[in-house]
Each structure stands twice: as C-alpha cells, then as structure tokens.
C-alpha cells in the first residue's frame, strides 16, 4: 500500500493553495472505485484497494464498501496510477460516506514530485467531520489538503482516524470531479473585543527584533515520549489521563480525538517565570469548521506550593478562533487572561472539545509579536561508504545454486517448506508474485530452507538473490536454529543477523553475500523479510541462492551489527532482565530482589531517568551500588527500526547514552534492549556506530511473562502461566516490567520457580560470559 502509517493518518501541516489554473481537458468525472471489482482486489482503475486487515470486518457491494474499524488506527486505501489532476482538469474529490452522528475521519492524499517519480511521496491531509449519521456526499476541492501536495501527481488516498471505531461506516463512489470545485463558504467570525489571534493568509509572522527565541513546550517529536512516558519537550508531565479516544503523534503534530466533552489534555511547564521575556503561547491548529474547545492556563501562588494551581479559562469563541479544516498559526497573549501571574506558570490545559483537533509545535513566543517555533531540519547521519568487493561473474561458491521461492503456492515455497507472514501483515499472492505491505516494523515474511536445521556452510561464498520491485526500505534476516534443532525448545530461533536491503539493492534485484549473515550456517532456518519502515508496497517474484552476481555489480561492505541474543550462554545460568516501569513500584522491586539475594539487570529509558520527579536516578544508582546491572532501553521508547531515518535512530541512542553517562558518573554500557523487541538492520548498525563498538549486546528474551497482555485483565495469573510455559521450554532470560502491581507481586514466585531449576541467577552480562562482567560469587 502507498500509505505511510508511521503511526496513523490524520496529522497535518499547513494548507497549500492549489492556485494553478486547470486545463479543461477532462469531459467527465473519473471513477476511482464503485466497488464492482471488490472480489478481484482492485478498484475501478484496476489498482489495489483494501484495509490490510486493519478493520474488524469489511465487505462491499456495488457502489460502496462497509466496514467496522478496530480502532482509530484502522484504515482504508485506494491506490492508482499517477493522476495529473491539474493538467487533466480535475478540480476535486467526491465520495459518499456514512458514519455515526457527529463523527469525523481523516483523509490522506499522497502525491509525488511528478508522475515519472517512484518511491518517496508526500502525505497531505484533510479532516471530514460533523457527519449526519445518514449517507451523504462529500465534495472536497483540491485546495483543502495541507503540506503542499502536488495535485498533478496524485497516487493514493487513505481514510483513517475514525472518531468512532467499533461502529459501522460506509464509503462509496470515490471520484475525481471534472471541472472547478468551489470551496465551502467562510464562517462568519463573531464580534468580540479581543483581537484576533490567528494568522492571516500568509504562513509566517515577523519575529521580534531581539536575541530571544521561542521556548519550546512540545514539538510532538515522539509518540512514545508523549503517550508511553507522559512528557513534553520541557521534560514536564503531559497527558490526557486516559480521557481521550486517541492521541496520535506524527510529523511533529498531535491529533487529539475526544471521547466526549469531558476529555481533556494538558502540558505542564514546571513553575516557569516568563515575565518580561515571553508574551504568550503560539501553536498551529487544524480543526474542522465549527470546532470549539476551551484553553486554560494555570499558575501557582508559590513554586514550592503543593496546592492546586489557580486557573483562568477562555473559550475559542472568546479568543476569536475559528477553524475551516486548514492549518494556521494561532496564539494568545498572556495579557488577555486577566489576573494571570506569569512569574509562576504551571500548565496549559485544553478541554470541552466538540471535535478532533490537530496541534502543531507549541511554544512561548518572545515579546508582544507572535511567532511560531519551527522544527529544525535534521541532517542525515553519516554512513560509512561501502567498500567494493569482487563483482565479476566468476563463480565463488562450490555448491549448486537453487531456488527457494517463486510464490506459486500460498502455503509452501519451491522447496516444499513453509512460508508465510506474521499476523497483522498483509501479503497478497498474484501470478508468481507476492505483494507485502505492513504498518508495523516488527512484522515479517518467512520462507524456510528445511523442516529443522539446514547446513548452509557450503554456500558461504554464495549470494541470496531476491527479484523485486517497489519498496526496499526493510531488512532481510537469516535465522539460526537452536543447538537441538527443535522448535519446541526456547529460544526459537536462537538468533539471526539482519542486513539493510537498500544497501544491497538496485531497482529490481537484491544480492546479499551469505557470509554477511553472521550466524552459524550449519543451523540455518531460512530468511525473514522484516523491519519495514514505510508502507510502500514491495513486490517479490523470486528468492534464490546464486553462486555469483552480475558483472559490474558492487557489493557493499558488511557493517557491524552487534550480537542479537535471546538466552544466556553460560551453562546453568538464568537472568532476570527487567524493563522500566512505574516509579512507585521501583522500591518494591528492590525489596524483592534484595530478599531473594539475586542480582538482576535493569534496562532503563533515558528520558524518565533524567526526570527528578520520578526519583529513578536515585533508585537506579542505589541498585547499581548493590551490584545490579544498568543497561539501555532507548531515550523515549519508540520502535527503533520503525523510525523514519538514521538521524532519528541516532538521536534516540545519543540521548540515551548521554542520560546514562550523566546519571551514573560517566558510566558506559554496550547492552541495549530494543523497545517492544523490534529489531532490524538499521537500528543494529547505528547502535554499533554510536557506541563505537562493532559487537554490542542486543538483548531479547526467551521467557516472556506477557505482563503487557494479562497484567490489567481479570486473569493476571496468566502472567505466571506464561512464565511457567517458557521456563518448561528451556527459557533462561526474562523480560518483564514493573508497570503493574500484579506483575511486581508475582516476581517472588517467578524467582522461586527459576531457582527451582537449579540454575544460578545472575546479571545478564554474567550469563553472557562477558569478560568485563563482575566475577560470579
């Protein structure tokens, strides 16, 4: 699919005005989809459409498709050959839709630089809100999408961000409209004594003449930082306390979708003195016509006070804010909040929403002239230039080449072995071809070499060849079986090595030296295509082993990628590797491990470690002093391989390394656990590069207590069952969190069961036989 769902569609930038005159070449509307070809998997233009399994249910009849979104992140897409809408005289989009009364949905328009371009595209957005509950026709001019789309190179449409998931929605007769489409009339602005605080039609405001610059409150840089950790850019608390239907961060925007008018969202400042320097707060807002909400600013009587802050509230009507579905700069001066003490500002608080709202970067502006915070452009991280190796057509392998997969059977590959995708990944079989799409970098497609272990050592001089087209932003892993070659024993797989496809690919072929996969080739399982970090489709027609590459082909050097481990290597060892959790449970965890007289390893997230209000720095320093191992778990807890570029990956590593160094007096560790266990070639390569260590430890697990599934349910005891299950399979490396009281209270039982195996409990570095680990007692 062409849809880049890094998190979800619906977040947006500034409205681009498509003022280019349209050549009246079309004579009728262009039907994109009337759903008469639904069973063939194509739309009316012969291209793919669908939901990639993101809906609870979906079905179509002539004229419309009906579906029930699982969540606000469910989506439906239409792809098509590049449409030159301006040149061909199409002025808008039209479709029928039916959703619950008052509901809203986001629409993404995807465009490229021109119709001769493939690969990258621009996502632009619009919001359809205020639905009537009845079937209605929506007509959108090609002037209502943000982020400067190229209306002369449109390649896809995606609907998502359903404000009412779980309800039935209808979508039908999707059409490009021939001729001019007139934008809706502008809403009349009510008369008020307050000066307007929205930007004019221009997109920038002149900055004040001073050395002052905007003080950032939040740039919405990370979904995990906001919704998992609960921080803004000031490292202060920011949350909805669970009142919103959804909070979605993407592209330095946040989309707040309220459950009802009781939903709210706040961002704290930490008792900030802005007097004489900052005159107010500015941010971009995008909301549908008729949207209203309230803005509250809080201030303390004294910074040391624990009392509830004094708050002053103004509505969007009082602020003279109106919305029309486009993004503009909005602001308010502190002076209009009568009685506000700007020497002790506590927070900004949004409430009483009647519809979804999208906020851009939020900041304090200097003086009396409102300016916006502009997110700095991030330079791409430097990557070592590949080193050419022999590329002639001379055979370099003594073993016979063979074909692994040509995709003629949905259940087995050419070798008669299993192939298939992880649950949640959309894989479509065509004529000797598969199309892979996924919005989750943790999912992959597998094709196996044999039923158990396959000895590939004779092919160490050969190459993996993949014939493909489309997206190459993913990894390929070669998997290694456990020593028993038994998939009922943990861990399975025992490990794998991943290579970055884009480094080894042309537009049509991928050639990877087998010896670039640093695994035990005598215990090979197969290959796994994983770590997709865009939603562009990948089309694959063949996977095979060949003994040479074409003449002139340049094979890059193998980049260091660390060691991926799922279990302890020391005989008769066992390790508890505990990820960050709720600070209020940390003391109890310390008491439990102290009573058990065992050392453990703590993987800590950098941002909360630096937050003095969590007290985690004190707790972890005490743990380290008692002999426990401290290791890294990223800075804001994102899926590392799913990040859009290496600069974003490096930012996570460098900040996490810096946090650990700061808190632990220069301490350096080469142990890292990827959040959610999400692994891929880029995050491995950049970890090795940022640590300046070719072989850092990337720690996974062979025992999962599944606290993330069961801890908050009516059956928390299933955490204990999960521990016993993996322990019985031979697992010896644990993943758990102290996020939940039930998990923490099961920890003594987990420890008791581990000790009953007769294995010695120790730190992760000790169980890995790391020569730099402290000696065993």
Distance between CA 192 and CA 755 in Å, rounded? Answer: 72
**Beta-ladder partners of 435:** 428, 539
Phi, psi of 502 (to 5 degrees): -60, -25
How are beta strands 563-565 and 697-699 bridged, if at all?
parallel
Phi, psi of 55 (to 5 degrees): -90, 155
If phi > 0 it is left, if psi is from -120 to 50 it is alpha, else beta; for residue 377 that is beta
Residue 208: per-residue pLDDT: 37
Distance between CA 452 and CA 482 in Å, rounded? Answer: 10
Q: What is the mean pLDDT of each run of 10 residues along the chain (777 residues)?
A: 28 29 69 83 86 82 81 88 91 91 89 80 85 86 83 92 87 91 44 36 34 91 83 90 88 90 94 92 93 94 74 93 90 92 93 94 93 75 37 48 95 96 90 90 95 94 96 97 95 97 96 97 97 92 96 94 97 96 90 96 93 88 95 93 91 93 94 96 97 96 96 95 97 96 96 97 98 94
The two tokens of residue 231 are 């921080």
SS3 224: helix
Sheet holding 294-299, edge to edge: 238-239, 264-272, 345-351, 294-299, 310-315
> Are the C-beta atoms of residues 750 and 723 closer than 8 Å to each other?
yes
Bond into 493 cis (ω within 30): yes
- Nearby residues of 750 by Cβ (< 8 Å), 6 or more positions away: 576, 705, 720, 723, 734, 736
Cα–Cα nearest to 581, from 748, 732, 697, 743: 743
Distance between CA 509 and CA 386 in Å, rounded? Answer: 18
Burial (Cβ within 10 Å: 0-12, 13-18, ≥19) of residue 692: exposed
Residue 48: per-residue pLDDT: 85
Tracing tokens 């301006």 back to the chain, one arrives at 86
Burial (Cβ within 10 Å: 0-12, 13-18, ≥19) of residue 542: middle
Distance between CA 652 and CA 105 in Å, rounded? Answer: 32
Distance between CA 181 and CA 144 in Å, rounded? Answer: 11
| CA angle, 235 then 241 then 247, to 5° | 80
Residue 200: per-residue pLDDT: 32
> Are the C-beta atoms of residues 146 and 124 closer than 8 Å to each other?
yes
How are beta strands 154-160 and 105-111 bridged, if at all?
antiparallel
Cα–Cα nearest to 538, from 635, 621, 631, 467: 467
Look up the pTM and report it: 0.66
> Are the C-beta atoms of residues 352 and 6 closer than 8 Å to each other?
no
Residue 125: per-residue pLDDT: 86
Tally the residues of the chain.
Answer: 777
Q: How many CA atoms lie within 13 A of 607 on its CB side?
A: 21
Query: Which whole-number Å values give the CA distances from 768 to 434, 764, 774, in the listed order?
Result: 40, 6, 12
SS3 397: coil
Distance between CA 456 and CA 319 in Å, rounded? Answer: 69
> Are the C-beta atoms of residues 475 and 680 closer than 8 Å to each other?
yes
Q: What domains does the chain contain, in order, with CATH numbers? A: 30-178 (2.60.120.430), 215-366 (2.60.120.430), 402-558 (2.60.120.430), 564-767 (3.20.20.370)
Residue 93: per-residue pLDDT: 93
SS3 577: strand
Residue 64: per-residue pLDDT: 85
Tracing tokens 């004594």 back to the chain, one arrives at 193
Burial (Cβ within 10 Å: 0-12, 13-18, ≥19) of residue 386: middle
Distance between CA 497 and CA 563 in Å, rounded? Answer: 8
> Are the C-beta atoms of residues 734 and 566 closer than 8 Å to each other?
no
SS3 169: strand
DSSP letter, residue 304: T
SS3 71: coil
Query: Which whole-number Å values give the CA distances from 13 to 108, 158, 214, 450, 672, in the listed order?
Result: 12, 17, 19, 50, 35
Distance between CA 765 and CA 761 in Å, rounded? Answer: 12
Cα–Cα nearest to 583, from 742, 739, 744: 739
User: How close are the terminal C-alpha atoms of the chain, in Å?
Assistant: 55
SS3 709: helix
Residue 398: per-residue pLDDT: 55
Distance between CA 202 and CA 490 in Å, rounded? Answer: 61
């Amino acid at each position: 699919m062409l849809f880049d769902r890094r998190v979800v569609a619906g977040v947006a930038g500034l409205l681009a005005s498509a003022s280019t005159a349209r050549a009246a070449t079309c004579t009728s509307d262009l039907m994109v989809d009337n759903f008469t070809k639904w069973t063939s998997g194509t739309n009316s233009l012969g291209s793919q459409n669908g939901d990639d399994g993101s809906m609870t249910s979906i079905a179509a009849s002539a004229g419309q498709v009906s579906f029930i979104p699982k969540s606000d992140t469910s989506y439906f897409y239409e792809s098509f050959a590049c449409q030159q809408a301006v040149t061909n005289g199409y002025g808008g989009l039209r479709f029928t839709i039916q959703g619950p009364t008052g509901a809203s949905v986001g629409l993404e328009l995807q465009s490229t630089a021109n119709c001769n371009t493939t690969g990258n595209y621009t996502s632009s957005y619009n919001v359809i809100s205020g639905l009537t509950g009845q079937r209605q026709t929506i007509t959108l001019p090609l002037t209502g999408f943000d982020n400067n789309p190229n209306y002369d190179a449109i390649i896809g449409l995606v609907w998502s961000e359903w404000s009412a998931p779980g309800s039935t929605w209808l979508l039908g007769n999707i059409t490009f409209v021939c001729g001019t489409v007139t934008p809706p009339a502008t809403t009349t602005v009510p008369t008020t004594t307050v000066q307007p605080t929205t930007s004019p039609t221009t997109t920038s405001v002149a900055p004040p003449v001073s050395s002052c610059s905007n003080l950032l409150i939040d740039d919405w840089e990370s979904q995990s930082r906001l919704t998992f950790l609960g921080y803004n850019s000031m490292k202060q608390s920011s949350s909805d306390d669970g009142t919103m239907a959804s909070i979605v961060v993407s592209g330095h925007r946040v989309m707040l979708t309220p459950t009802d008018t009781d939903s709210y969202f706040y961002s704290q400042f930490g008792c900030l003195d802005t007097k004489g320097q900052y005159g107010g707060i500015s941010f971009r807002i995008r909301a549908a016509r008729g949207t209203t909400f309230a803005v509250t600013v809080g201030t303390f009587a004294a910074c040391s006070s624990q009392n509830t802050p004094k708050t002053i509230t103004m509505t969007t009507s009082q602020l003279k804010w109106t919305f029309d579905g486009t993004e503009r700069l909005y602001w308010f001066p502190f002076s209009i909040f009568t009685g506000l003490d700007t020497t002790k500002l506590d927070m900004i608080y949004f409430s009483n929403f009647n519809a979804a709202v999208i906020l851009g970067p939020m900041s304090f502006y200097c003086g009396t002239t409102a300016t916006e915070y502009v997110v700095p452009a991030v330079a791409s991280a430097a990557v070592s230039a590949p080193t050419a190796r022999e590329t002639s057509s001379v055979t370099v392998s003594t073993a016979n080449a063979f074909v692994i997969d040509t995709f003629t059977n949905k259940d087995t590959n050419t070798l008669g072995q299993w192939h298939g995708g992880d649950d949640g990944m959309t894989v479509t079989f065509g004529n000797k071809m598969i199309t892979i799409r996924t919005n989750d970098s943790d999912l992959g497609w597998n094709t196996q070499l044999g039923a158990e272990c396959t000895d590939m050592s004779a092919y160490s001089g050969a190459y993996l060849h993949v014939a493909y087209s489309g997206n190459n932003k993913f990894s390929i892993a070669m998997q290694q079986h456990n020593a028993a070659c038994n998939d009922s024993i943990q861990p399975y797989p025992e490990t794998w090595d991943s290579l970055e496809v884009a480094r080894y690919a042309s537009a049509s072929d991928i050639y990877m030296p087998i010896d670039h996969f640093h695994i035990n080739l005598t215990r090979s399982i197969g290959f796994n295509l994983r770590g997709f970090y865009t939603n562009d489709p990948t089309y694959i027609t063949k996977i095979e082993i060949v003994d040479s590459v074409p003449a002139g082909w340049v094979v890059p050097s193998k980049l260091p990628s660390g060691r991926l481990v799922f279990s302890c290597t020391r005989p008769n060892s066992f390790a508890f590797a505990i990820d960050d959790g709720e600070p209020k449970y940390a003391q109890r965890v310390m008491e439990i491990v102290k009573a058990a007289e065992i050392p453990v390893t703590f993987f800590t997230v950098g941002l909360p470690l630096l937050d003095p209000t969590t007290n985690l720095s004190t707790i972890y320093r005490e743990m380290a002093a008692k002999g426990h191992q401290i290791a890294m778990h990223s800075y804001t807890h994102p899926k590392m391989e799913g990040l859009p570029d290496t600069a974003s990956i490096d930012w996570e590593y460098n900040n996490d390394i810096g946090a650990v160094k700061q808190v632990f007096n220069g301490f350096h560790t080469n142990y890292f656990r990827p959040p959610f266990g999400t692994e891929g070639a880029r995050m491995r390569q950049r970890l090795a590069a940022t640590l300046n260590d070719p072989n850092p430890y990337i720690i996974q697990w062979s025992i999962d207590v599944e606290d993330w599934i069961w801890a908050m349910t009516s059956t928390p005891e299933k955490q204990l069952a999960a521990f016993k299950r993996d322990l019985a399979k031979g697992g010896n490396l644990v993943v758990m969190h102290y996020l939940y009281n039930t998990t923490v209270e099961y920890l003594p039982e987990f420890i008791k069961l581990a000790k009953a195996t007769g294995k010695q409990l120790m730190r992760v570095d000790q169980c890995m036989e790391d020569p730099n680990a402290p000696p065993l007692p």
